Amino acid sequence: MAVSIWLLAGSVGVQATEPDGAVVELAPLLITTPRSHARWLSAPVAVTVVEAGTAPGEQSLTLDSMLARVPGVFSLNRYNLAQGLRPAIRGFGARGNFGVRGIRVLVDGVPLTMPDGQTELDGLDLGLVERMEVLRGPASVLYGNAAGGVLAIETREPPTLPSMQLDLSAAGLGYQRMRSEIGGSDGNLGGLLAFNSTVLEGYREHSQAQTNSFTGKLRWYAPNGRLRLNFNAIDNRAEDPGGLTATEVKADRRQAAPNNLRFNADEYIRQQRLGLVWDGYAAGADQYQLRSYLGHREFGNMLGFTTSGQTTFDRYFSGVGGQYSHYRELIGMPHKITTGFDLEAQRDDRRRYDNLLGERGQSRQQQDESALSQGLFIEDQVDLSEQWQATLGLRYDQVRLATDDAYLADSRDDSGSRSLEDWNYSAGLSYRFTPQQSLYARLASSFETPTINELANPQGAGFNGALQPAQALSRELGIKGEWPSLRYALALYRIDLEDELVAFSLQAQPGRNFYRNAGESRRDGVELSLDWQLTDAWRGSMAYAYNRYRFIDYRVAAGDFSGKHTPGIPKQTFFSELAYEHQEGYVRLGVTAQARVYANGANTQSAPGFALLNLRLGKRLQLGEQSLEPYLGIDNLLGREYFDNVRVNDGNARYFEPGPGRTLYAGLRVLF
């Protein structure tokens, strides 16, 4: 049986060695985030592919272990499951103190991002993730609102032969995970069922969490296409230890914020989601896709204060979309013209109550909130010659956000609506100056409306009428190269922003975020990735990013922050890993490092930089028809002190969430 070693994120099609010693070159890497299939080398865009199979033995607590391999991507908050992982791509997404902002996330072609632009990763079964494409930089032409970057996640397809998997793991911090999966195919119909349950006591006081997810997939293959049906349901609950001041960190890194204990800060989520996608083949080489989804989400939380300290909402959301790629020759040059549309809607029944030390108190707010998003786009990919390729794109979006105030106790009506629209464009040009290397240039714009939650009025109910959408213009130059055992990419970019969305909080409402606009901002950056199959057994990989993000014009009541660094993003990030794999055994030693992170707009508080060493090892064993894989991992091998999360612009200076020291986990994966 051939053993194939796949390189990750921007890695090359590497070599695989068969038992007879013959060397096989894997096919060139293809990407789909440009809304249609394209070859990575010739696409004039910065995109990285991460294959889960190249990183065996992971704990799979969050997506951060995969995202760390991508230059220009920075993640916070691995261990506080009440707030969720907070990834940022070239600074987009750094503003939020919980969940994902400014980034579009898709799973198996269906948007995970809500119609208002907010994304939660809590429903994703990481054990199913097989591949992820990360498009870095503005992509509103193809994906619309809040597309400062794209995470396109692909999960495991139903197996051809009936099979079952069982994965049991345990670790320090009270971590336990049980995951089971069963699937198979009969003729042109395949199915898969997966269940995942994770328990985590956490490093800090009051940080227990339990997550449960169920995923079902059906696939039907026809001569002219493929039908994909996905269902996912989750039931999660997590405590929130809150942020600490610098003084509290020195006294006890593992304590929770006092008010989070007093008011029993936590959250629960129950969600069901259904997605349907048809991938069709039309005349000639033409392809098209039709997609739809719908879902329901129940949410409730308790924050560390009394007035309006409890929130619940009942959300219904849905969307439809489609695209068609047409191949034809115009003016003697091959064109691939892709046109498409997106229509998405959500409605929230939101209520707020007083938090009486963990008990529900007086009603303080009741309003219906809605978001309707619609967009049309077209992109033309032109092969100017064998060496030159160009892409041109244009998109129109309209987003309507509305609130219907049903709270009568204050004798006023705070109902209102906002209609926001924008045109965005992109242009890219690539030149293959050798068969293995290419240069590219790209110009792209994007826009980002506030989410429904971010439009919350600091003065009370209704929307914050002063908050405007953010606009961005990105210019980028890059060079790529790929050989049978090596792939590299280098990108330089500048992003100019107007009305960047910035989070802040009020002393009287700790843990609740509000938002305002910065006048002008600028982001300059350099990104480098390298993956090298040194020998059949040894592989090395590296990702480095240098960021110079700053406010150009930003004035608030607290002062003039013009010229200050954008908080929440380090100036430098670095990842490197050396992996050895031979005779079904593997050892991986990696390091993740970052510079200090400013915690506020004034740049007076910061979390120091750090470097963490991580070890993974395991062995695949074949016992008859069963396959066993025991694995072991050690995070923070040297026991360094660091911060897992930084809460930007916290009104009470509770910026810091300390991360754990040396943490060991072990697991056993069984395939029947």
For 230-288, what is each residue's pLDDT tens digit? 999 999 999 999 999 999 999 999 999 999 999 999 999 999 999 999 999 998 899 99
Residue scoring higher pLDDT (237 or 28): 237
Question: What is the pLDDT, as a whole number, of residue 355?
Answer: 96
The answer to whether residue 124 is domain-embedded is: yes
Rounded-to-integer distance, Cα 277 and Cα 227, Å? 6
The pLDDT tens digits of the residues spanning 615-669 come to: 999 999 998 888 999 999 999 999 999 999 999 999 899 999 999 999 999 999 9
Whole-model pTM: value is: 0.92
249 and 274 Cβ atoms separated by less than 8 Å = no
The answer to whether residue 8 is domain-embedded is: no
Neighbouring C-alpha atoms within 13 Å toward the C-beta of 349: 5
Rounded-to-integer distance, Cα 185 and Cα 130, Å? 19
Rounded-to-integer distance, Cα 170 and Cα 199, Å? 9
Task: Compute CA distances 324 → 33, 36, 75, 390, 618, whole Å.
Answer: 15, 9, 34, 19, 44
- CATH code for position 481: 2.40.170.20
Query: Has residue 14 got a pLDDT over 50?
Result: no
Can you name the residues that pair with 423 across neighbouring β-strands? 396
Question: What is the pLDDT, as a whole number, of residue 5?
Answer: 26
The answer to whether residue 25 is domain-embedded is: yes
The answer to whether residue 4 is domain-embedded is: no
Q: How much is the average pLDDT of 301-320?
A: 95
The answer to whether residue 157 is domain-embedded is: yes
DSSP E strand stretches across 505-642: 514-533, 538-553, 555-556, 559-560, 572-582, 585-594, 597-598, 606-607, 610-619, 621-623, 626-635
Domains identified in the chain, total number: 1
Query: Has residue 11 got a pLDDT over 60?
Result: no
Rounded-to-integer distance, Cα 154 and Cα 66, Å? 13
For residue 162, what are its two tokens? 């009936």
The pLDDT tens digits of the residues spanning 109-160 come to: 999 999 988 898 888 899 999 999 999 999 989 899 988 999 999 999 999 9
The answer to whether residue 3 is domain-embedded is: no
The pLDDT tens digits of the residues spanning 388-413 come to: 999 999 999 999 999 898 888 887 88
Question: What is the pLDDT, as a whole number, of residue 39?
Answer: 85
Average pLDDT along the chain: 90
- Which range of residues forms the domain containing residue 273? 15-671
Q: Which of 318, 372, 314 is nearest to 348 (CA)?
A: 314
181 Cβ contact list (under 8 Å, min separation 6): 127, 128, 164, 165, 166, 167, 192, 193, 194, 195
Q: How much is the average pLDDT of 188-216?
A: 96
Q: How much is the average pLDDT of 475-485?
A: 95
Task: Compute CA distances 541 → 6, 128, 391, 610, whole Å.
Answer: 12, 23, 30, 20
Pairing relationship of beta strands 30-31 and 23-25 according to DSSP bridges: unpaired
Neighbouring C-alpha atoms within 13 Å toward the C-beta of 416: 14
The answer to whether residue 293 is domain-embedded is: yes
The answer to whether residue 9 is domain-embedded is: no
